Structure 1
């Protein structure tokens, strides 16, 4: 593991594969870390790519700050990593909240150095229910999340990951050990980062920015996503992004990178390796 030094904090990242190969940057979801890409990183490297994954500030082994969890600041971290490693022709892959960094990066820094993007179970274009987004998550539900993070973060996180995988006693979509691992990762994240990053993905609206995307885009979303409803995310993103390939997993929850890892790896690698896309 390596560290990228910023003004007042450091970002943790891993960098695997041939340093001369095309770089793929993986951006994890909330409230986890780069470890959530455990089943994707080896396949990407074995396919001949340089694979880089990093911990968002305040998560995993990256330092926490008190402020700057808005998407402009988070995209600036991504830009700094690309600049530090002198990466060109980059492929960006964002899971859940990580889709926000991908889209904001393009809107702030342009399409020029980006080859392709993939949005997996992504929040793009918006999560919140509004007058013109009837399938979004109601404000009272989002307020409830904020309240729980402020008053009983650990209990919330334990329940959150069950919904993340659409897990129940009758439908054990992942192992007990997976739930415990995710809880451990999320519970060790900075409490202030967990809260303020949540506020960022709750309030963001990327509908206008989606129209700025010019590169080939892969969108994958599960119909059984109880965390980010497909109607407010994947369905809309596919309509807004002009050069998008949209794949729907009929029975997949939000955490399809675990529950449907083989299918995701196949679809993602096909997209990465397709010279026509």
Structure 2
């Protein structure tokens, strides 16, 4: 056996190990490890016990995304993934009955949905928030201000919002008859919703949108429960938010496409801009309703600029 492979006597090994310990102890102290970031809640629980699934990516100023009718939080994938790399904390959640959230038999009215938004902001302890709401989510945001005030919110971005008053009334002659909405619920949503999605997918996007992207969007919407589809449609089409929108006094940005057939610019985005006291309207030429899918780079840039200013 060579000297190189001869094992040390036990006492010599202890001496060597003790010497190494002494050397390590004599080295300059290194900086203490950074404290771990505060643990974020794994789930949100609404006032009635409904569990709301959410995504929470990034650090920095919080931007909370609310999806439109029938869509889960995954619809914001191309915004949250990119903007969380740009110094924003991107939070999105599934409305009750959508995606991975619980699907109770009630609570799809704007009051309860606004309370769900309040639960998200409070349980994540978010402040100086930028709210981004697509389509019917504009109503949830407006009702949140009416019911909870705006102490946690510093800015609001309404993306392709629905009409503040979709139904026809004496003082709202451009609205649609209430009977039309009810027929849609009973004869479409409760009979053949998948076929309706197939037939109406193309106007939601642009001619350049790939078939694969359209399939993905349809898949997201097919995951929503029938109860949520019907009741959220009822809530959004019977609401009259005209007297509440002026209460959103924080800076407001409205982004709307001039080819939006789901929520036409004239009766939707422009009306929001006229009613909100600190509003700016940006019109995307040739753009449809599904802007988060069709105008990803431009929309992300506008959200980032709005959040940073």
What is the TM-score of this pair, normalised by structure 2? 0.82
Q: CA-atom RMSD, angstroms?
A: 1.7
Question: Corresponding residue for 2:127?
Answer: 88
Q: How does 1:226-265 map to 2 (within 5 A)?
A: 226-265=261-300
Paired with 1:213 and 1:127, the residues of 2 have a C-alpha distance of 19
**Of 90, 97, 101, which aligns to 1:58?**
97
In the alignment, does 2:260 pair up with 1:225? Answer: yes
Residue aligned with 2:299, SS: helix
Distance verdict in 2 for CA 1:105–1:95, change over 3 Å: same
Q: Is the 8 A contact 2:69 2:136 kept in 1?
A: yes
Alignment deviations for residues 14-53 of structure 1 (CA, whole Å, 9 cap, x no partner): 00112xx221100001111111111111232122111100
Question: Corresponding residue for 2:56?
Answer: 15
Q: Which runs of 4+ in 1 moved over 4 A?
A: none
Paired with 1:47 and 1:219, the residues of 2 have a C-alpha distance of 22
Q: How does 1:100-111 map to 2 (within 5 A)?
A: 100-111=139-150
Question: Corresponding residue for 2:8?
Answer: none
Question: Corresponding residue for 1:35?
Answer: 74
Residue aligned with 1:228, SS: coil
In the alignment, does 2:247 pair up with 1:193? Answer: no
Tell me by how many angstroms 1:86 deviates. 1.1
Q: How does 1:122-201 map to 2 (within 5 A)?
A: 122-147=161-186, 148-165=188-205, 172-201=207-236
Q: Is the 8 A contact 1:58 1:65 kept in 2?
A: yes
**Higher mean C-alpha displacement, 49-58 vs 181-190:** 181-190
Question: Corresponding residue for 1:112?
Answer: 151
Paired with 2:107 and 2:178, the residues of 1 have a C-alpha distance of 23
Q: Is the 8 A contact 1:127 1:228 kept in 2?
A: no
Alignment deviations for residues 115-144 of structure 1 (CA, whole Å, 9 cap, x no partner): 100000111523233333344344344233
Q: Is the 8 A contact 2:163 2:263 kept in 1?
A: no
**Higher mean C-alpha displacement, 51-60 vs 97-106:** 97-106
**Higher mean C-alpha displacement, 118-127 vs 64-73:** 118-127
Unpaired stretches in structure 1, ≥5 consecutive residues: none
Q: Is the 8 A contact 1:133 1:232 kept in 2?
A: no
Query: Which structure has the greater CA radius of gyration?
Result: 2
Distance verdict in 2 for CA 1:227–1:3, change over 3 Å: same
Tell me by how many angstroms 1:254 deviates. 0.5
Distance verdict in 2 for CA 1:273–1:124, change over 3 Å: farther
Unpaired stretches in structure 2, ≥5 consecutive residues: 1-40
Q: Is the 8 A contact 1:135 1:229 kept in 2?
A: no
**Higher mean C-alpha displacement, 96-105 vs 1-10:** 1-10
What is the TM-score of this pair, normalised by structure 1? 0.91
Question: Corresponding residue for 2:10?
Answer: none
